[in-house]
Structures are given as C-alpha cells and as structure tokens.
C-alpha cells in the first residue's frame, strides 16, 4: 500500500528527519522537494502563529495539505528567551554553537536554569482550514555541553524525562519525549478525528 504524502514546510533537515521518524505511516517530503523553495518571513509573535504562517504559504503554493513546525527553547530566568528567536538568538541566522554560547554566557552565575522546549505544529488544508497542536518538554540548561547528538540546544538541555542531555540521547530516546513528538502526536489525534 502506498503511503500518503505529507509536505513539511521546512528547510531544516534535522526537523524533517525527526518528523519522518515520528510520522512513519506517511511519505514525508520537504516543500523544496515539491518545488517550493521560498523563504517565508516568520512575523508571528508566538510559535503557533509562525507555524501557521509557514504551513499556509506551502499549502497555498503547492495546493496540498502542508504541515509546519515552529519550536524553540524558553528559559525561565530569561523571561522565556530565546523563545521564537531560538534559531537566530546570536544574530540573524546564528549557528547552533553561537546560539548555545550566547545562552550559556547569559546564564552564567544564574542558579535558576529551568527551561522547556515548545513546539507548535500547524496543518493547513488547501481550502484554508487548519489544525494546531502544541507540545512541551521540560528540563534545565546545563553549564556546559554534554554529547554531540541532536541539534540546536540539545547538548545543553537536560531532559527531566531522560535525566540526561538530549545531546547524549539516542534519536529514539529523544523522539519518545520531545516537544515535537508530543505536538505531532496531538496533531495526529486531531487530524484523524477531523477526517473520520
């Protein structure tokens, strides 16, 4: 049986891989693979708004159902920063290492290192209807990097669920407790209920 195609509005290979490891019943393809390579301005003020902006753009351009994720790290002692600016925290398009270094510098000497990853998932139909889902995973920011797995802030985020950094976790371990996994599971439930 042929798998149903799911177009993901992202240029981030790590996110695409993580989504494909969770949405195993679908043929997960990027918007670029489908011929839409436009950079969409993320002008929203929340993760959900930005996910919706990206999914709407891909759905409209490709006339298909499109899914988008917007996610980031929220640190309690920094009033939720880096938040929606997580990917570009150290500059307009800062590297993962530069983003981690900036965050660790800002938390230097701060005892409260509680944080969570937030993921908002938007699924948009060609007729404009949409579904939204969100997920979180809680933990704390470590004082130094641990592990080389994952991407972004993974090696400085110690997961409450795993008791270790996402950088030390296998893909299977991380995917079982991640913010994106939780949001995608919620989206699958909503999508299935909507299509019954």
Residue 11's pLDDT is what? 82
Contact by Cβ (8 Å): 167, 186: no
Radius of gyration of the chain (CA): 17
Is 70 annotated in the active site?
A: yes
Residue 97's pLDDT is what? 93
Residue-number span of the structural domain to which 93 is assigned: 4-195
Q: How many domains does the chain have?
A: 1
Residue written as token pair 């909507």: 194
Residue 92's pLDDT is what? 66
Residue 3's pLDDT is what? 82
CATH of the domain at 181: 3.90.950.10
d(CA 179, CA 184) in angstroms, rounded, equals 9
d(CA 48, CA 178) in angstroms, rounded, equals 17
Give me the residues of the chain with pLDDT under 70, please.
1, 92-94
Which of 70, 79, 127, 161 is flagged as catalytic? 70
User: What is residue 135's three-state secondary structure?
Assistant: strand
Residue written as token pair 């797995």: 149
Alpha helices in the chain (DSSP H): 13-22, 47-62, 96-106, 171-177, 179-195
Residue written as token pair 């988008």: 68
pTM for the full predicted model: 0.91
């Amino acid at each position: 049986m042929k798998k149903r195609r799911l177009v993901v509005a992202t240029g981030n290979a790590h996110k695409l891989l993580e989504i494909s490891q969770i949405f195993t019943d679908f043929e997960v393809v990027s918007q670029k693979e489908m011929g839409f390579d436009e950079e969409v301005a993320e002008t929203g003020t929340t993760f959900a708004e930005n996910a919706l902006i990206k999914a709407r753009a891909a759905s409209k351009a490709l006339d298909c159902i499109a899914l988008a994720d917007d996610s980031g790290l929220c640190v309690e002692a920094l009033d939720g920063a880096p938040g929606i600016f997580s990917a570009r925290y150290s500059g307009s398009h800062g590297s993962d290492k530069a983003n981690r270094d900036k965050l660790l510098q800002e938390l230097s000497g701060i005892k409260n290192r509680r944080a969570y990853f937030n993921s908002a998932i938007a699924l948009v139909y060609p007729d404009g209807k949409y579904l939204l889902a969100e997920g979180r995973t809680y933990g704390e920011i470590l004082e130094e990097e641990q592990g080389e797995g994952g991407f972004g802030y993974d090696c400085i985020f110690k997961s409450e669920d795993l008791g270790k950094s996402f950088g030390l976790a296998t893909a299977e371990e991380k995917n079982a407790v991640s913010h994106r996994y939780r949001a995608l599971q919620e989206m699958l439930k909503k999508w299935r209920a909507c299509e019954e």
